[in-house]
Amino acid sequence: MSANRNVADMAQARASSSVDAAKLQVFLWGEREWEARQRVESVLAKDPLFEKSSRSFLTRSQMYYRALAMTNRLHELQEIHRWSPEEVNIAFKLVDEPLPIALHMAAFEPVIRTQGSPELKQKYSELIAQRGILGCYLQTELGHGTNVASLETTATYIPETHEFEIHSPTLTSSKWWIGALGKTATHGVVQARLILPPGKDVGPHLFLVQLRSLDDHKVLPGITIGDIGPKAMGGYSAVDNGYASFDHVRIPREQMLSGFASVTPDGQYVQPPHAKLSYGGMLYIRSSMVSSGGWTIARGATIAIRYATVRRQGNKGPDGLERQVITYPSVYYRLLPILSHAYVFILLGRNLTKAFGEMTSRLTSGDTSLLAEMHATTSGLKVLISTTAIQDLETARRSMGGHGFSDFAGVGRLYADYVPAATYEGDNFVLDQQVVRAALKAFDALVVKKTRSVNELTPSTLYLRHLATSSSPPSSSLNWNKPENVIALLERRAAAMVQERAQDLRDPDASADQRVSRAVTEAFVAAQVGEIIKSLEETVASKEATVLRKLYNLHLLVAAEGGLVDILSFGLLGPSASGGDPTRELRLAIKRHCEELLPEAIGLSDGFGFTDWELDSALGVYDGNVYENLWKRAQSEPLNTSEVTEGYERYIKPMLERGQRRIARAKL
Amino acid sequence: MSANRNVADMAQARASSSVDAAKLQVFLWGEREWEARQRVESVLAKDPLFEKSSRSFLTRSQMYYRALAMTNRLHELQEIHRWSPEEVNIAFKLVDEPLPIALHMAAFEPVIRTQGSPELKQKYSELIAQRGILGCYLQTELGHGTNVASLETTATYIPETHEFEIHSPTLTSSKWWIGALGKTATHGVVQARLILPPGKDVGPHLFLVQLRSLDDHKVLPGITIGDIGPKAMGGYSAVDNGYASFDHVRIPREQMLSGFASVTPDGQYVQPPHAKLSYGGMLYIRSSMVSSGGWTIARGATIAIRYATVRRQGNKGPDGLERQVITYPSVYYRLLPILSHAYVFILLGRNLTKAFGEMTSRLTSGDTSLLAEMHATTSGLKVLISTTAIQDLETARRSMGGHGFSDFAGVGRLYADYVPAATYEGDNFVLDQQVVRAALKAFDALVVKKTRSVNELTPSTLYLRHLATSSSPPSSSLNWNKPENVIALLERRAAAMVQERAQDLRDPDASADQRVSRAVTEAFVAAQVGEIIKSLEETVASKEATVLRKLYNLHLLVAAEGGLVDILSFGLLGPSASGGDPTRELRLAIKRHCEELLPEAIGLSDGFGFTDWELDSALGVYDGNVYENLWKRAQSEPLNTSEVTEGYERYIKPMLERGQRRIARAKL
């Protein structure tokens, strides 16, 4: 088979798409960001320092140095091109790998901004913004993760000197997993139990601690610091996740982050006005995980769809060619839903960012009314998106058959870097419980205590309104092409599950929280998708709107299929029109949607606007020339530098000679 | 928290298990293998060459050299300790990582043995057995994988010289992914389309080709060979998966593997007696994947269960200690089913090996009657086991929260090495189709054409017998504690699905084959589990039998839960006794089984008999001392060799200075 066949197949697929990729790029990125992105990308893609394909052959130390070099270079480029902070952020997004500096930007800087006292901010904000110091955020300990209340590190106030003494009393109290702590950060915000005289423990609070000298980067006295070693599957390889233990380290009183709670010079505790005011940062990170999860899925989907378009396998058609693998139902049934997830989560994330802005500005004026809603929403979404994205990346990788297991395919790398999302920023199984707790509370107010009316339901609990209306099972089969039907079905399922969960309160089954949390979150997402579909006419041209409507509808159908156990067990599906298996109509609707979307798959994935440099995948190249790319990349493998391996003289030759000797001996 | 707490928790858990680990070890391994294993292990674990924990810090080239060194050393040890071939195999299993030599042992050697002519075997068998030559098996090409019929490499017979000319006509015909080809193998069995004069293509056949000189290991003229580069997530890192292309390479006629088909000196084709006789090797590899999948799950389960036993997190109990995480329903609900999968697949694999032996001895005498059955069984099992094991490893890893993402946890490595099982040896989605085809054929014979009676059903199609009996839905709820009920339910589900698939023949939904294949295979496995349960009284002591019965029953219940969509949509579940959700009883039965098995979890995982050396996991250590192990391992991280990183002078310092400069400038 000629490699040009691949290129012809890709060109053909592109020509037969009815959508305009450029219009979709603006739809997904927004006009302003899309333009800035192209501007910044043209700078980075030319710079050899940002070359991505060499990563396959680097050690962890080399990956770390490369990350530092890129970070330093980005700050140089910022000056050269007079990039705005927004453009710098875009540059970091384009680099698209976990970097130590990310912890400075996403954790250290925001926590000081939101929880530091005015004096502390006055002293440090500019230093932090200009990278005059580099920070990290020390929460997790060797023995404690999600359960912050049990952290062991202490910060004991010494009224005599107006200092706090930071101390790690045990091995398990060592801070562990802290990004950028191992070798990079000069400062850190340490979470420690505040102990006030005469020994009163008032629980975890935050303290700014200098870790390394600004003169020579040596670790300051009393502190032990190191890197915690490599991560599973080579993920996060460039990040120096580190450990630290503190041996009675003193810091001035002013370095407590006392934007909310504080300690008076004589050691009196001043209560925070609202205990939850400090949740903002955590919610910000979780809410930003929605669109980043969407973009991660987008990468996997683009690579897998492009490869499945040019890969041919199976029986030969009348043209003498084997079938393009994307035309197999078992393949498109896997890839098109992934595409729909990406399109949903990207838009959902954008809406969430807006809602987060609204909440923050209210919080500033002491109004915490949106906090609980944001907390419930982001917890559920964090679980749903991370679980979905991990699964989608693996599905994408596996859809590529053998070649998907090559590092050059690029999806394994995405997977390894993405997979900790299920356990960081709140373990998914802990968050599930929080989602269920919020749902039960809303159920209790609406149905049991009747202290809240249907009109007072928030978006995250709106599905509960179905409990207030009569809910006799439908007498005829659903029209699966109408999004409102599928949304209502997903909402009724969530309502029924919460109701059942409330009934089984004292003896839930072992996976109940996980299932209820998922149902509740899927109902919320479905309603949001409904809004997105309604707004399509205004946000995108009509040709694209037609295709996107199908794609968003596919998302709803696939969610319904995933919820079938619940839907069936609550009798929420009417009988099939044909009298047969009522789930078959749903599955055929999915198949029809996929068939109609199939010619648009390349156009829709081009809509993400990824360049070859960004994707860094031999199988996901824009022009489809996958085999030549695989071949070319293999030539750089270090094992290929010599025709005969170093291992020959030392190991292979002795083995062959031993074997031949044995035979000679046997023949004697 | 004291690290000794971990050790105390583990000792306590071990003491409260009612099973005797030693008895389980014999039950799982068989007495003979278990003893041999301990003997061989005591040699390897002492030898520094087989030290495993250093792997975390090695480059791919170093991993490859280490693999060669271990292989060479194993052959030395074989001579020193006069190990039998069985003991050598055990040694390789104990090393437990993908090695180049595995392809010699599992592919090259068997294909010559089963398909070589007597002359070829006479010439090469001893050389191969003694490693006087090292081989590989060249099937997959850059452009073609599972669909062997479309391979492009040619072997053209030249009657004048009695030679074949092996040739790669295109880039895509390059052999690709071939284990041990890149740098190790001296010889290979090449699959190529046989072209007979005057140009007749008789499809793929096998040819033994020397690849490298036995004098200096240089690649022979006309052949281009290299390593294809790193694999995703660092998997298979020590194996030199390679590529090769052939430029009109001549080999003597005798080097065709003509045990079945052959070519006469003047170029006439001699038909194989039975086209399927050559399938044996493939079936052997697939059938061996059943127990190896089970043992892989066993490793993940042992690590995760041990860690969950000593990890404490959450609210404090009356003893002032947080809860052991294994006591959370969301955790044990994930880990105990995994344990049950391991126990099922290990025993199932052993039975399959016996059946395979029976089939092979019949094949030798030309009796192919067992071939179709073995083919259907192994295809379905290969899909079910690889899918399950991949999922179980990721579930185990994720159950460990943040620390599960450390390379030192060891489960990421298991995952990366295991994950290609879904796409090699027959892509799972292709195998699904074969399973469905076999099921439809049996259905057709039994129900439509009525050419076969219920008594003639083979084990792999026995579930179809339910179609011949009246199948009114049960009027009352099932007793989930009786395995026979759950087995019948899973069988009825498979039968109903095959029947529906036959009805929808012309328009199946897009995931139909995957679901039907799974249902059919799960019915087969369930019946096998029923047999295992029945035989427990004879195979193990009664205390262990009681616990194992629960564990095997849990396997059945979890399979039923996984099949609920089908079970509900076919109305196979009677109403719940309480009149509520009928699935709740099943889920509560799962919870009860888990609760009863919880005190046995450590005993059951000790039953696999893994040593710390074998598992090589900081979180899976036998004594539970996980935190000290994590700490100790981190000290070896190369980034920790200097207090101040190399990257400081080059990148961090310039960045800090630039930041401070900017601030100074702003203040002017």
The dihedrals phi and psi of A139, each to the nearest 5 degrees, come to -110, -65
Whether B280 has a pLDDT exceeding 70, the answer reads no
Residue-range definition of the domain harbouring residue B260: 135-280
Please report whether residue B122 resides in a domain.
no
A333 touches A594 (CB < 8 A)? yes
Interface contact B655, partner A, CB < 8 A: yes
User: Which residues in chain A are contacts of B232 at CB distance < 8 A?
Assistant: 397, 404-407, 409, 411-413, 415
Residues B343 and B431 in one domain: yes
Distance from CA of A336 to the nearest CA of B (A): 12
B289 touches B386 (CB < 8 A)? yes
The partner residue sitting opposite A227, judged by closest CB among B152, B432, B639, is B639
CA distances from B625 to A171, B388, B402, B463 (A): 12, 29, 17, 48
Please report, rounded to a whole number, the percentage of residues in chain A having pLDDT higher than 90: 81
Q: What is the mean pLDDT of residues B583-611?
A: 97
How would you label A530-565 residue by residue, b for 16+ Cβ within 10 Å and e otherwise?
bebbeebeeebeeebbebbbbbbbbbbbbbbbbbbb
What strands lie across the sheet with B223-227, from one edge to the other? Answer: B175-178, B242-246, B223-227
Residues B354 and B473 in one domain: yes
Of A433, A496, A438, A419, the C-alpha closest to A463 is A496
User: Which residues in chain B are contacts of A211 at CB distance < 8 A?
Assistant: none
Q: Would you call B627 and A172 a contact, using CB atoms and an 8 Å cutoff?
A: yes
Beta strands in B439-558 (DSSP E): none
Question: Over chain A, what is the mean pLDDT?
Answer: 93
Q: What is the mean pLDDT of residues A559-579?
A: 88
d(CA A648, CA A661): 17
The DSSP bridge pattern shows strands B154-158 and B187-196 to be parallel
Distance from CA of A416 to the nearest CA of B (A): 6
d(CA B533, CA B485): 13
Interface subset of B 197-216, CB within 8 angstroms of A: 214, 216
Name the active-site residue from B41, B109, B152, B425.
B425
Helix and strand numbers (H, E) in chain B are: 24, 13
Q: Would you call B132 and A424 a contact, using CB atoms and an 8 Å cutoff?
A: no
B179 in a known ligand binding site: yes
How would you label A299-333 residue by residue, b for 16+ Cβ within 10 Å and e otherwise?
bbbbbbbbbbbbbbbbeeeeeeebbbbbebbbbbb
The partner residue sitting opposite B640, judged by closest CB among A226, A565, A570, is A226
DSSP state of A231: B
Q: What confidence tier does B187 reach under pLDDT thresholds 50, 70, 90?
A: very high
A314 touches B147 (CB < 8 A)? yes
d(CA A300, CA A335): 10
Is the peptide bond preceding residue B198 cis, with omega within 30 degrees of 0?
Answer: yes
Q: What is the pLDDT of residues A505-550, one digit of tens each?
A: 889 999 999 999 999 999 999 999 999 999 998 989 899 999 999 9
Distance from CA of B362 to the nearest CA of A (A): 32
Of A126, A92, A132, the C-alpha closest to A112 is A126
Of B54, B29, B52, B51, the C-alpha closest to B39 is B29
Please report whether residue A144 resides in a domain.
yes
Interface subset of A 111-140, CB within 8 angstroms of B: 126-127, 130-134, 140
Please report whether residue B330 resides in a domain.
yes
Interface contact A666, partner B, CB < 8 A: yes
Minimum CA–CA partner of A219 in chain B: B643
Interface contact B227, partner A, CB < 8 A: yes
The partner residue sitting opposite B590, judged by closest CB among A510, A634, A648, is A510
Whether A272 has a pLDDT exceeding 80, the answer reads no
Interface contact B437, partner A, CB < 8 A: no
Those residues whose C-beta lies under 8 Å from the C-beta of residue A318, and which sit 6 or more positions away, are none
The predicted pLDDT at position B317 comes to 84
Strand partners, A269: A263
Q: Would you call B174 and A666 a contact, using CB atoms and an 8 Å cutoff?
A: no
Please report whether residue A365 resides in a domain.
no
The DSSP bridge pattern shows strands A223-227 and B322-324 to be unpaired
User: Which residues in chain A are contacts of B134 at CB distance < 8 A?
Assistant: 652, 655-656
Please report whether residue B63 resides in a domain.
no
* Cα-Cα end-to-end distance for chain A: 52
Whether B357 has a pLDDT exceeding 90, the answer reads no
Minimum CA–CA partner of B129 in chain A: A659
The predicted pLDDT at position B445 comes to 94
The partner residue sitting opposite B584, judged by closest CB among A71, A407, A509, is A509
Q: Would you call B569 and A587 a contact, using CB atoms and an 8 Å cutoff?
A: no
Looking at per-residue confidence, does B376 or A473 come out higher? Answer: B376
The predicted pLDDT at position A148 comes to 83
Minimum CA–CA partner of A169 in chain B: B1
Looking at per-residue confidence, does A113 or B407 come out higher? Answer: B407
CATH number of the structural domain spanning residue A226:
2.40.110.10
User: Which residues in chain A are contacts of B217 at CB distance < 8 A?
Assistant: 644-645, 648, 652-653
Residues B349 and B315 in one domain: yes
- The residue with tokens 């935190």 is B627
B140 in a known ligand binding site: yes
Q: What is the mean pLDDT of residues B486-501?
A: 96
CA distances from B311 to A144, B1, B633 (A): 9, 11, 18
Q: Would you call A663 and B132 a contact, using CB atoms and an 8 Å cutoff?
A: yes
Minimum CA–CA partner of A404 in chain B: B232
Number of domains in chain B: 3
Whether A668 has a pLDDT exceeding 90, the answer reads no
Whether A386 has a pLDDT exceeding 90, the answer reads yes
Q: What confidence tier does B279 reach under pLDDT thresholds 50, 70, 90?
A: low
Q: What is the mean pLDDT of residues B418-431?
A: 86
Interface contact A219, partner B, CB < 8 A: yes
Angle, in degrees to the nearest 10, between helices B512-539 and B428-443: 80
Q: Would you call A217 and B568 a contact, using CB atoms and an 8 Å cutoff?
A: no
DSSP state of A256: B
Q: What confidence tier does A424 reach under pLDDT thresholds 50, 70, 90?
A: confident
Name the active-site residue from A109, A425, A544, A600.
A425
Please report whether residue B332 resides in a domain.
yes
Distance from CA of A593 to the nearest CA of B (A): 11
Whether A277 has a pLDDT exceeding 70, the answer reads no
Residues B141 and B272 in one domain: yes
d(CA B632, CA B626): 10
Residues B532 and B656 in one domain: no
Residues B338 and B481 in one domain: yes
d(CA B269, CA A353): 70
Q: What is the pLDDT of residues B24-72, one digit of tens each?
A: 999 999 999 999 999 999 999 999 999 999 999 999 999 999 999 999 9
Interface subset of B 384-413, CB within 8 angstroms of A: 390, 394, 397-398, 401-402, 404-409, 411-413
Q: Return the structure tokens found at B464.
A: 């179809």
Count of CA atoms in the C-beta half-sphere (13 A) of A301: 31
Q: Would you call A72 and B570 a contact, using CB atoms and an 8 Å cutoff?
A: no
Q: What is the mean pLDDT of residues A62-87?
A: 96
Those residues whose C-beta lies under 8 Å from the C-beta of residue A592, and which sit 6 or more positions away, are none
Whether A33 is catalytic is no
Interface subset of B 500-519, CB within 8 angstroms of A: 500, 503-504, 507-514
Residue A340 CA to its chain's centroid (Å): 16
Q: Which helix (H) or strand (E) holds B242?
A: strand B242-246
d(CA A566, CA A516): 10
Best of B177, B652, B653 to substitute, by most chain A Cβ atoms within 10 angstroms, is B652
Size of interface A-B (CB pairs under 8 A): 437
Residues B451 and B503 in one domain: yes
Residues B204 and B249 in one domain: yes
Minimum CA–CA partner of A387 in chain B: B398
Residues B223 and B174 in one domain: yes
The predicted pLDDT at position A370 comes to 82
d(CA A609, CA A615): 10
Whether A13 has a pLDDT exceeding 80, the answer reads yes
d(CA A181, CA A175): 9
CATH number of the structural domain spanning residue B609:
1.20.140.10
Please report whether residue B576 resides in a domain.
yes
Q: Would you call B650 and A172 a contact, using CB atoms and an 8 Å cutoff?
A: no
Count of CA atoms in the C-beta half-sphere (13 A) of B386: 28
Residue B563 CA to its chain's centroid (Å): 23
Residue B18 CA to its chain's centroid (Å): 31
Interface contact A562, partner B, CB < 8 A: no
The predicted pLDDT at position B250 comes to 98
Collapse the DSSP code of A574 into the 3-class scheme (helix H, G, I; strand E, B; otherwise coil) and give the result: coil
Q: What is the pLDDT of residues B629-657, one digit of tens each?
A: 999 999 999 999 999 999 999 999 999 99
User: Which residues in chain A are contacts of B633 at CB distance < 8 A?
Assistant: 229
**A98-102, A437-441, B467-471, B639-643: lowest mean pLDDT where?**
B467-471
Q: Return the structure tokens found at A654.
A: 């002795």
Looking at per-residue confidence, does B461 or A363 come out higher? Answer: B461
User: Which residues in chain B are contacts of A658 at CB distance < 8 A?
Assistant: 75-76, 130-131
Distance from CA of A365 to the nearest CA of B (A): 31
Domain boundary among A577, A601, A625: A601
d(CA A140, CA A615): 32
Residues B495 and B514 in one domain: yes
Asked whether the whole model's pTM tops 0.90, one would answer yes
Question: Over chain B, what is the mean pLDDT?
Answer: 93
User: Which residues in chain B are contacts of A228 at CB distance < 8 A?
Assistant: 406, 630, 634, 637
The predicted pLDDT at position B486 comes to 96
Domain boundary among A214, A240, A272: A272
User: Which residues in chain A are contacts of B423 at CB distance < 8 A?
Assistant: 398, 401-402, 404-405
Residues B379 and B329 in one domain: yes
Alpha helices in A563-651 (DSSP H): 564-569, 582-597, 601-606, 612-615, 626-634, 647
Residues B372 and B519 in one domain: yes
DSSP state of B183: T
The partner residue sitting opposite B313, judged by closest CB among A65, A147, A627, is A147
Looking at per-residue confidence, does B12 or A259 come out higher? Answer: B12
Minimum CA–CA partner of B662 in chain A: A130
Distance from CA of A313 to the nearest CA of B (A): 7
The predicted pLDDT at position A7 comes to 97
Collapse the DSSP code of B206 into the 3-class scheme (helix H, G, I; strand E, B; otherwise coil) and give the result: strand
Minimum CA–CA partner of A660 in chain B: B132
Looking at per-residue confidence, does B578 or A365 come out higher? Answer: A365
d(CA A510, CA B10): 24
Q: Return the structure tokens found at A312.
A: 């041919």
Task: Tell the burial category of B664 from Cβ atoms under 10 Å away from its Cβ (0-12, 13-18, 19+).
Answer: exposed
Domain boundary among A571, A601, A631: A601
A588 touches A377 (CB < 8 A)? no
Please report whether residue A469 resides in a domain.
yes
